[in-house]
Amino acid sequence: MARPGRPAMPKPDLHQSVDAFLDMLTTERGAALNTRQAYWRDLADVSLYLRNERNTDIDKATTDDLQAYLKNLSEKTHTKGSNKAKIAVRTVARRLSALRQFYRFMVSENMRTDDPTSTIESPKQGRTLPKTLSEGEVDQLITTAAEPGTPESVRLVCLLEMLYATGLRVSELVGLPMSAISEDFQFVTVAGKAGRERMVPLSDPAQKAVEDYLNIRKRFIGSENPGNQEKWVFPSRTSDSGHLTRQRFAQLLKDLAREAEVDEDRVSPHILRHAFATHLLSRGADLRSVQKMLGHADIATTQIYTHIVGDKLKKTVKDKHPLSKDEKKTASN
């Protein structure tokens, strides 16, 4: 199913080398289903272009074919001076990355003798800092979520408190099995990307939210196929998986943002994950500890949050330091 606002992509029969590559991602690298689907979308888009515009297939593509595709992709979405320009650069870079990994796989499996991406340069990307929320905005969301006092409200508060206390990826949160929560509610054990398991502590408010929610959790388990629902922390009667979906949780957050009068464009499960990391670092948490709780394999991924905290500290010094020009001007007046 296409995401809202994204046109549905035709589903071509991709070359068998693509299927082999995707299978390798799953079996050898432990890639999650979402990761596999993302690679499929990227390689399917390339395949469609090559077949329709270059009269060739992805397994036989030359460097010229791929450069033509990337140029077309950039021109199709690039609008100077707008947000689309940033989107275009990121998209081109991601597609090129997928192609590089695909052709390296082909070479390693003796499906090709050359890598047509080896001489293609990556587009230059400016540093894009992740969106985040202030501590006050997070408090406002939680307070607003709690006001109705309904079972749905109790569940939403639990989701918010757990996400803000742990920084879990949304797929990790909604797919938590009951066995992931420790008996005293102090920890959550998470099976992250590539099977990497980590243990993340729950804050006092999150522990209470979990306890309150588990008292009413059975209300979300239907009579049909209850066995498929009972094993999940956040069961759902309507989803095929038996648990709350990422899409449904994201929609609940958008609705909540409107009620709480917080900019809904800045509220999503992933932005709450950013808020968790940013607020921890701004209060002096160790970068390595935050890396482990987020489940990042490389600390360089975590370091982007130090730039957000750094900008915040610079602004505080500029606005509040007694030797700053603005403070001097205020004092003299």
pLDDT tens, 52-71?
A: 999 999 999 999 999 999 99
* Active-site amino acid positions: 169, 193, 270, 273, 296, 305
In this prediction the pTM is 0.59
pLDDT digits 0-9 by tens, 26-49:
888 777 787 888 899 999 999 999
**Does 126 score more than 60 pLDDT?**
no
Q: Stretch 193-201: mean pLDDT, rounded?
A: 78
In the structure encoding, which two tokens stand for residue 34, read together? 């979402």
pLDDT score at 90: 76
Beta bridge partners of residue 188, listed in sequence order: 181, 200
State the pLDDT confidence band at 278, using cuts at 50, 70 and 90.
confident
Q: Stretch 238-265: mean pLDDT, rounded?
A: 91
pLDDT score at 306: 62
Distance between CA 22 and CA 29 in Å, rounded?
10
**Which span out of 279-283, 299-303, 329-333 was modeled with the highest average pLDDT?**
279-283
Query: What SS3 string covers the chain?
Result: CCCCCCCCCCCCCCCHHHHHHHHHHHHCCCCCHHHHHHHHHHHHHHHHHHHHHCCCCCCCCCHHHHHHHHHHHHHHHCCCCCHHHHHHHHHHHHHHHHHHHHHHHHHHCCCCCCCCCCCCCCCCCCCCCCCCCCHHHHHHHHHHHHCCCCHHHHHHHHHHHHHHHHCCCHHHHHCCEHHHECCCCCEEEEECHHHCEEEEECCHHHHHHHHHHHCCHHHHCCCCCCHHHHCECCECCCCCCCECCHHHHHHHHHHHHHHHCCCHHHCCHHHHHHHHHHHHHHCCCCHHHHHHHHCCCCHHHHCHHHHHHHHHHHHHHHHHCCCCHHHHHHHHC
Instruction: Decide: 38 and 95 in contact? Cβ < 8 Å.
Output: no
**Does 106 score more than 60 pLDDT?**
yes
Average model confidence (pLDDT) for the chain? 82
Least confident of 11-15, 70-74, 117-121, 281-285: 281-285
- What are the backbone angles phi and psi of residue 198, rounded to the nearest 5°? -140, 155
- What are the backbone angles phi and psi of residue 274, rounded to the nearest 5°? -60, -40
